[in-house]
Amino acid sequence: MRPHVDQRQAQVLALVRARGSVRVADLAHELGVSPVTLRRDIEAMAARGEIHRMHGVISRVEAMRHVSPEEAGSGRAQAQAGPGAGPGAGLVIGMVVPTTEYYYAEVVRGAREVVEARGARLTVGLTRYLPGEDRTQADRLLSTGADGLLLTPNWDAGSAAPGEGAWTAELDVPTVLVERTAPPGHPAAALDRVVSDHAHGAARAVQHLVEQGHRRIALASQETPTTARLRSGFEAAVNALGLEPAPPWPTTAGSGAAWFGAAGSGAAGSGAAGFAAAGSGAGTAGSEIAGLSVADRFARTLDYLCDAVTSGGVTAALIHSDTDAIMLIPRLQARGVRVPEDLAVITYDDEVAGLADVPLSAVAPAKHEVGARAATLLFERLAGGAHESPRQHVELLPRLNIRA
């Protein structure tokens, strides 16, 4: 015979007080009741202030305490509240990212610190930029019990193209986009998101180079989800500061078109060199790029920069990424282009720029903070209930690190 509702709710309260928190699905199975029946009990108990309810988890009221972003990022809250006593205790947060190496290592670390400080657990799915793998990994994490998702879809341009990625807005759990955007009108534009303002980062690099006396600056960027925003910020700064455009990228034989997009004048082929790094997983900017090997793209970028300096009047360049800059610089020097005497260089990402034989100045996106802010925002969404706050689009400004 099933227990009376009062007895059942007393059992729920006793279990929650004993354990600190418990997943609703696990509790329904343990008590032998349907999830619908248990949810009704939980709603009544939460209304009486006996328990705290989050998405998929209930916890004892006395375990709750406010966790500031600073505490969450440092892990102090977990140490003070005790194991399993955080406001997210029992929750599972899924995170889909291209890789846990290079750029995303710090993003994941930032998210993990917040998740663990809340008493929750982070599980990660890797896409390696493989087509369709982002949805596969999201579905896998949801099938294993993820209560919310931090999601970096495989969108080549860093922003959802028409008809791409609508599934991200159809998930059954709260979802926050990480380092990805969607244009107005796209279903994913209604999702919370936390991104680096790469356009600002590129513009800040141009501003600094102008302050050092440079008037003709080139952009050399591999084609990644970051590139479009770098290019837009670079172009905007060049135009706003009244700089002379760098020489156009040479056209591909027989095509009559520039190999890579503009930087400096708003017209195609005005000074943005393009190449792709091995393993970037990025899409291509056109059939001309698609037909070239990584080695060919790299060689053409080297040729472009050498010619831009020796005959095009270029005296500075923003190079994305650090690793590409570190590979390009000795080759430039071997061709007679001295760095920084003939070509001042600022790199983008600041992963290994400080480890170059001559440490390089670099633009550093706030990678760790992106992960931490995204996780914090997801917890706010999980705890929102019926009084959900407005969705948020958060942009964090990169920092320029100057190294003499």
pLDDT in the model for residue 211:
96
Q: What are the structure tokens assigned to 190, written together?
A: 């209604």
The length of the chain, given as a count of residues: 404
Residue 353 contacts residue 145 (beta carbons within 8 Å) = no
Q: Percentage helix, strand, coil, to 5, in the chain?
A: 40, 20, 40
At 63 the pLDDT is: 43
Q: What is the pLDDT of residue 258?
A: 32
- Compute φ and ψ for 361, nearest 5 degrees: -65, 145
CA angle 40, 41, 47 (to 5 degrees): 90
DSSP 8-state secondary structure symbol assigned to residue 166: G
Buried b (16+ CB within 10 A) or exposed e, 107-138: bbebbbbbbbbbbbbbebbbbebeeebbbebb
pLDDT for 3 equals 57
- What pLDDT, on the 0 to 100 scale, is given for residue 223? 83
Burial of 79 from C-beta contacts in 10 A (0-12 / 13-18 / 19+): exposed
* Burial zone of 311 (CB within 10 Å; 0-12 exposed, 13-18 middle, 19+ buried): exposed
- The whole-number pLDDT of residue 291 equals 59
Quick one: pLDDT at residue 212?
95
pLDDT tens digits in sequence order for the chain, 404 residues long: 445 788 888 888 888 888 877 888 888 888 888 877 888 888 788 777 788 776 677 887 754 444 444 444 444 344 344 444 455 677 899 999 999 988 999 999 999 999 999 999 999 999 999 999 999 999 999 998 899 999 999 998 999 999 899 999 999 899 999 999 999 999 999 999 999 999 999 999 999 999 999 999 999 987 889 999 999 999 999 999 999 999 887 654 433 333 333 343 333 233 444 443 322 333 333 444 455 677 888 888 899 999 999 999 999 999 998 999 999 999 999 999 999 999 999 999 999 999 998 899 999 999 999 999 999 999 999 987 545 789 999 999 999 999 97
Distances (CA, A) of 358 to 87, 277, 336: 47, 22, 17
Query: What is the predicted pLDDT for the residue at 33?
Result: 86
